[in-house]
Amino acid sequence: MSAGKRLAGTIDPMHVWEGAGGVKIAGDSWGDPSGHLVILQHGGGQTRHAWKRTGRLLGAAGYHAVAFDARGHGDSEWAPDGLYGQDVMVEDLKCVIAALGKGRPVLVGASMGGGTSLVAIGEEHVNATALVLVDIAPRVETEGIDKIQAFMSLKPDGFDSLQEVADAIASYQPHREAPKNLDGLAKNVRLGSDSKYRWHWDPRFRPQRHDFVAREIRLTECARRLRLPTLLVRGGLSDVLTEEGAQDFLRLCPHSEYVNVTSAGHMVAGDRNDVFGTEVIAFLGRKVPSDGTPSYPSQSLSPHSAAGNMFDVP
């Protein structure tokens, strides 16, 4: 199943891997495959394209960066059973890592992808060298999640034009400059047989509020178990992860580092890719050089003795 035909100009994925249950997972990569692997996982309703500029920066810095569309998103297949929980996302991640044939990657995850990364490491499904969480932590604000859900539920019968799509995005992200060229929206929608534009994701995928308590408990335990280098990046304008939520995480994981990008919203990498890319590469350069020799060998070791570093960047 899909939302319709891909629009002309939509970039084909560089790779297709088999995820859990045989679901096809589409992805892109940048940099030398011999470099240290960095897996980039996007948020709900996004695609691998959200990481394009970051992937290029990581590739230029000597890393092998890989971004993939989560099941039910972008060019990846939809789940036959319509289920998109945390556990199956972790299984997909494991499948991609296995297909790449490289152990101990760096995991970078935004929102939904960050939750997947945290569970994968905290519950010992993936042996990683470092973790970067982007505007996500165990404690999130339901009001912000409600806004995401409302946005994802817009126009279930489809949009009449790409301009309507652009207007919907602008209403959700008023702090961003509206695109001058609508062609870039092609990757976000599909064209149905009724000539309506619909979002690329499976409409059965929705952030679920009813399991927030269980989710927070699970992610809290995972955060407490973290022993590897960890960076939390928050968007200063975010209504999903507040400063209080970020500080809660730093208490759970006191060896972690923290960057607050004051001029970014929930979509930090998209809002301020320049700042985000610089901070992530600086962090990895200190902790996991691109040649794959981490300064902090294993998740199983004791926490780093130094207190977490905090930065506010405009």
**pLDDT tens-place string over residues 250-298:** 999 999 999 999 888 887 887 677 788 889 999 999 999 987 666 554 4
Q: Which of 129, 175, 169 is nearest to 45 (CA)?
A: 169
Task: Give the per-residue pLDDT at 268.
Answer: 87
* CB-based contact 106:132 (threshold 8 Å): yes
Task: Give the per-residue pLDDT at 271.
Answer: 65
Task: Give the per-residue pLDDT at 156.
Answer: 86
Percent of the chain with pLDDT over 70: 89
pLDDT reading at 307 higher than 50: no
- Kindly indicate the confidence band of residue 103, based on its pLDDT and cuts at 50, 70 and 90: confident
Q: Which of 171, 13, 152 is nearest to 96 (CA)?
A: 13
pLDDT reading at 312 higher than 80: no
Q: Which residues pair with 39 in a beta bridge?
A: 66, 107
- Kindly indicate the confidence band of residue 306, based on its pLDDT and cuts at 50, 70 and 90: very low
CA–CA separation, 128 vs 49, rounded Å? 23
CA–CA separation, 107 vs 128, rounded Å? 7
Percent of the chain with pLDDT over 90: 64
CA–CA separation, 102 vs 63, rounded Å? 13
Query: pTM value?
Result: 0.90
Listed range (27-41, 93-107, 166-180) with the worst mean pLDDT: 166-180
Residues 44-87 have pLDDT tens digits of 989 999 999 999 999 999 999 999 999 999 999 999 999 899 99
- Torsion sign (Cα): 197, 164, 207, 15: positive
Mean pLDDT of the chain: 88
More confident position, 175 or 215? 215
- Kindly indicate the confidence band of residue 208, based on its pLDDT and cuts at 50, 70 and 90: low
Task: Give the per-residue pLDDT at 296.
Answer: 53
Task: Give the tokens for residue 61.
Answer: 């810095």
pLDDT average, residue stretch 308-313: 61
Please tell me the CATH superfamily of domain 5-143+206-313, with its number. Alpha/Beta hydrolase fold, catalytic domain (3.40.50.1820)
